[in-house]
Structure formats: C-alpha cells, structure tokens
Amino acid sequence: MIVDVQRRGRILVIAMQRPEKRNAVNRELAVALSEAFDTLDDDDELWVGVLTGTPDVFSAGTDLSGGADATTERGGEYGLIRRQRRKPLIAAVEGPAFGGGFEIALACDMVVASTTARFALPESRRGLIPSSGALFRAIRALPLHVAKQLMITGAELTAERAQDLGVVNEVTPPGAALDAAIALAEDVCLSSPVAVQAILAGVAAQLEPADAAGWAATSDAVDKVMSSADLQEGIDAFFGRRPPEWTGR
C-alpha cells in the first residue's frame, strides 16, 4: 500500500507510504495520491483533507530515478500541484519536506509541522529549478528575499522559523503533527462547508492570473536548465554521491 487513506468522519486522512524512498514521488505514488484527492473532491460527505507522510519524513519530492511522469490529468504534478480543489487540505509534516515535498506543502491550504520538520528547495544544487509551483508560491508565502535564498542556495527552514515567516500554521512536538492537523480539520468542520468552499473558490479566483503567469515563468526557467550541461552534471553527481563540478553552461 503506497498510500494509506482513512476516513475520520468528515475528514479524509491521506498518508504517503514509501519510506524506503523518503516518500519520493514516482508514477505509482502520484496516481494513488490523485485517486485519494479525487475521493476528497467528489464525495460530498467529506469536508476536509489531511495529507501526511511517514513518521520520519514528509516527502523528498520527485523520485529522480523514476518520477519523470509523476503527473496525472486531473491533478498535475504529484496528482496535486495543479489540481482545482474545492475543499481545504492540511499538510501534516514530520521530518524533511524537501524540493517537491515542500512544493506539496505549499500547494495545501494550511500546514501543521512538528519540530522535526525541515523545509528546503535544493533543486539548484542539482542543476534544476523548483518546477512544481514553488517559483511563484514560495514568493507568495515567504518574504521575497527569504524565498530567493531558499531557491538559489538550498537553505533549510526549521518548523519554528517557517511558522515565524507565515508558512506554517502550527508547530507541535515530535510525532504530534498528524493529530494536530486532524484537530485543525475538525475545527474547520465546525464551519459551513458551503461557506468554506466558497471562500476557497473566491481566493483561488483572485490568484488565477498570477498562477498563470507563474506557470509560464516556470516553463521558461525549465527550458533554460534543460538545455544546460550543468543539469546533466547535477544529476550525475547526485547518483554518483559526489559534489558537482559546474561549468556554468
């Protein structure tokens, strides 16, 4: 079972279960996640979703050895990143949320993180760019200079720092992020689901032009790195477990 899905009343809890790969997303995991999000979106008895990983890691993002096609028609990257969601989704983060894992959290509506959580966008250290929404969602969620630092240096944020900057809603002790996220989801369920969904739709409608521009800029940036020698060097260095030797070409 690569994704564990549990109903808790009006709440759907979705847990990535690929710990041997640090919950890195391949095609199989993306499809399973997309099916779970389809259930959340389409079942009127469900009002809120909670997305989590395993006890030690949220997600390392794309599986570089098998995640090139980790997209779905309805959800885009990871079955989530481009999804037009109707219902709130809360990320419950334990351990690293790196690269695409951080982008998954940024695609959620709220984030609960334990003190073990760490957030980073280290793609530039591999000759890549954040291509699953962070190029525009990070500068929306974080101060501009902090977002730039994360993306061009691979620096990490602790849960506490991420909360101070407004990315994380609540910080918990280790192992308590999921319970706190479920409690937050239960709090959301005290509100009218019609009102909640109307609010999310209203916010999304205002962001649509900026999102379109963000995806266009992301596509341009991807095109630039895809034709570079640095990209192949970064991937070779990653699999060779060695520092890359950049040429700037």
How far is CA 162 from its chain centroid?
14
Do 114 and 173 form a contact (C-beta atoms < 8 A)? yes
Handedness of CA 12, 173, 111, 30 (dihedral sign): negative
Is 208 labeled as catalytic in the residue annotation?
Answer: no
Is 103 labeled as catalytic in the residue annotation?
Answer: yes
SS3 52: strand
Please list, in sequence order, all residues whose beta carbon lies within 8 angstroms of the beta carbon of residue 13, skipping any fewer than 6 positions away: 4, 5, 6, 7, 49, 50, 52, 178, 182
Q: Which of 35, 73, 77, 103 is catalytic?
A: 103
Q: Which of 77, 123, 160, 233 is catalytic?
A: 123
Closest CA to 201 of 34, 84, 80: 84
Spatial distance between the Cα atoms of 16 and 4, rounded to a whole number of angstroms: 7
Just list the catalytic residues: 103, 123
